[in-house]
């Protein structure tokens, strides 16, 4: 029974790792691809592709990021937006997520719900949850 629990827990952890398509809350269209990977005992995520409309800068910089953040004025493609997440049961907690469009940094929680990834950003008592789709 313990072996079954451990193998199920490892499966859900490894299922969170990989490439995910972020979806715009308003339009329902794909915005980017984020690659989530483990580094040491923590989990991080970086943008590896942007879906841009014609006329938009194909590789913008994070000019809305806080000036004292190392990500300020860095290219968004390759930008680490998820940092220092820690495994807790079947989810990731304790870390943060950056919204490069607004420059705001939120506390974060990530978990699987069926085939989808749920990504929740918290700012005080307020939160917003996005659904990301696995890249196959």
CATH of domain 2-134: 2.40.128.520
Rg of the chain (C-alpha set): 15
82 close to 36: Cβ distance less than 8 angstroms: yes
Q: For position 3, what pLDDT does the model report?
A: 36
Domain boundaries, given as residue ranges, for the chain: 2-134
Residue 94 contacts residue 84 (beta carbons within 8 Å): yes
pTM of the model: 0.87
**pLDDT at 49 (0 to 100):** 97
Structure tokens at 54: 């014609």
pLDDT score for 14: 59
Per-residue model confidence as pLDDT tens for the chain (136 residues) = 443 333 334 445 558 999 999 998 888 999 999 999 999 999 999 999 999 999 999 999 999 999 999 999 999 999 999 999 999 988 999 999 999 999 999 999 999 999 999 999 998 889 999 999 999 8
- Tell me the C-alpha distance between 119 and 97, whole Å: 9
Distance of CA 38 to the CA centre of its chain: 13
């Amino acid at each position: 029974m313990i072996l079954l629990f451990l193998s199920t827990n490892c499966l859900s952890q490894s299922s969170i790792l990989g490439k995910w398509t972020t979806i715009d809350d308003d339009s329902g269209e794909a915005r980017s691809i984020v690659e989530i990977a483990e580094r040491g005992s923590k989990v991080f995520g970086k943008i590896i592709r942007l879906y841009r409309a014609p006329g938009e800068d194909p590789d913008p910089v994070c000019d809305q990021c806080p000036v004292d953040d190392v990500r300020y004025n860095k290219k968004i493609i390759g930008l680490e937006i998820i940092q220092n997440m820690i495994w807790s049961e079947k989810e990731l907690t304790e870390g943060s997520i950056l919204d490069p469009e607004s420059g705001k940094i939120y506390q974060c929680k990530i978990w699987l719900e069926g085939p989808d990834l749920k990504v929740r950003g918290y700012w005080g008592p307020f939160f917003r949850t996005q659904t990301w789709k696995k890249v196959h």
